[in-house]
Amino acid sequence: MTAVAVTALIDFAQPQGAAGERLRYAFGAPLRLLQADTLAEVKPLLEQVQAEALAGRWCLGHVAYEAAPAFDAALRVHPATGPLAWFAVFDAALPWPEDELLPSGAAAAVQQPVKIRWDSGPERAAFTRDIEAIQAAIAAGDCYQINHTAQLEGQLLQGSPLALYAALRRAQPGGYSAFLDTGTRQLLSVSPELFFDWDGSKLLVRPMKGTAVRGATPEQDQAHADALLSSAKERAENVMIVDLIRNDLSRIALPHSVKVPRLFHREALPTIWQMTSDVTADSRPGTTLADVFGALFPCGSITGAPKVQAMRLIHELEPVPRGAYCGAIGVLRPGGHATFNVAIRTVTAQGQRLSCGIGSGITSGATAEGEWQEWRHKLAFLDRASEPFELLETLALADGQLRHRSEHLARLQRAADHFGYPLDQAALLAQLQALVAAHPQGLWRVRLLLDAQGRAQVQAFAMEASPAQVTLALAPQPFEAAQGEFVRYKTTRRAHYDAAAPTQPGVFDAILWNSRGELTECTRGNLALQIDGQWLTPALSCGLLDGVGRETALREGRLQEAVLRVEDLQRATGLAFLNSLRGWIPARLA
């Protein structure tokens, strides 16, 4: 099969198509490139893009946030540092690329591990001041909601932009994903938010407003999803933008055709729940792509309401242009059907330099602490993609028997499902059986790894018997990673644990605790306290790994779950460290 140079990729959900239907294609060398560098050029470019599509061609591109004044001079933005709009025109789409379709060396580039160093982002004190300024503007009646954002800067230390795009798609699957190579920079978008889908008549806009973190257990996850739907703040945030978009759509809609067929719909992303609503309309005859952008752009979900006042305050608070972030990236297929995302969860690459925006909608009920935590949860997709990791299980092999094999494989399957790693259980069992056959006697530590491509590796290492008792020390500060997915699932991404490991001589492990003062776990196993004659272990909702040894002790009735606090250590009459590898080890507090 002939290799082709892939310069653009599109992997969009089809919101007005059948369930699960996707528009997924690659594109080679473009017929021509269209670019607008001034406001006066934006509308003519969109008219030309639509003409190309009506003539039977594919058009992929983006419109930057700073193009907004091209549609309404009252919208305030910073001077742009890149094109206001850019589109590539193609005569045909190619199948979604498999490795053999990529040019020489590109297949290896896609598979190459990616490593990124990101800056620390906005300063916490400055963030709080911005939230206070927004709240003051809301209290003064200047606006109802402001979408506040900041730019993170980073450096691509290893891998290519195409490999980073592949990693981002694994981290944030589904949605409206696109890769655009403009020659001087690459846009890597894995946005979950639809801006609009327009077939020339029917218009659908699906704003995404309202966020909740995913839970540590199925029960907690459902509770968080239910709380999102019932939250007055989150519902208000959503309905304000729905009203704004209804008003925007009315400018190009047939009379009485603007509808809201679906309000407050939950969508599950890997690390957060998001709330969306659908706003539909029938466009007036003669409506053009430039008219659609003129009515809707930028999407109200990334400005706030009212739009003019919101963008004025954004201009005052945010010191740099947003660029492609918070603009729109999309495709026009032959015939003119247009689908654009809201370019959130979008990375811009220029050489080794990377930038990525993060933001949230601020309403009167928002707090600086709550929004700060929301930003952290939204950035989890970057954390996933910024460094390769493997799923990890550690088992004890004693005299030819793998301890708790089925429980470890079940937990590995849960992690594989969460991260989207393919797992062939039959092939993995065959590897484990071969390993057991090669180590029929003695005590061994078995390390099982599964990478993002589904490749499994198992190794055995000689292990000494567990000590009769160990010493544990309370970590000196809260464990900031307690609510993250790299705590809830066992992987080779362990820097957060290594940083919390004890350094005192004779201390076996550290007792971790979260920012609420709740005990969680140790860096290498779970924790048990005996209080009032009963053995208790921290609840999963506190932020910890569901260890197989812990799971076994709970199932056997030896342990009960409870929310335990740091001060409970002083009244505990017993202390233990436990995991599947070492079993139950009595402990004392340093």
Tell me the catalytic residues: 193, 209
Assigned token pair, 293: 């952008």
**How far is the C-alpha of 84 from the C-alpha of 44, rounded, in Å?**
12
DSSP state of 476: S
Assigned token pair, 490: 């066992």
Per the listing, tokens 């590796």 go with 457
Phi-psi region of 80 (alpha: psi -120 to 50; beta: other; left: phi over 0): beta
Taking Cα atoms as reference points, which of 486, 165, 484, 216 lies closest to residue 345?
Answer: 165
124-139 vs 307-317: helix crossing angle, rounded to 10: 150
457, β-bridge pairs: 449
Q: What is the 3-state secondary structure (H, E, C) of 568-588?
A: HHHHCCEEEEEECCCEEEEEE
**How far is the C-alpha of 187 from the C-alpha of 121, rounded, in Å?**
20
Per the listing, tokens 């670019």 go with 35
Does 422 sit behind a cis peptide bond, omega within 30 degrees of 0 on the bond before it?
Answer: no
**Based on the number of CB atoms within 10 Å of its own CB, is 98 exposed (0-12), middle (13-18) or buried (19 or more)?**
exposed
Taking Cα atoms as reference points, which of 253, 241, 236 lies closest to residue 207?
Answer: 241
Taking Cα atoms as reference points, which of 98, 148, 79, 150 lies closest to residue 120?
Answer: 150
The 10 Å CB-count burial string (b at 16+, else e) for 483-502 is bbbbbbbbbebeebbeebeb
* Strand ranges, E, within 328-440: 328-332, 338-342, 346-350, 353-362, 391-398, 401-402
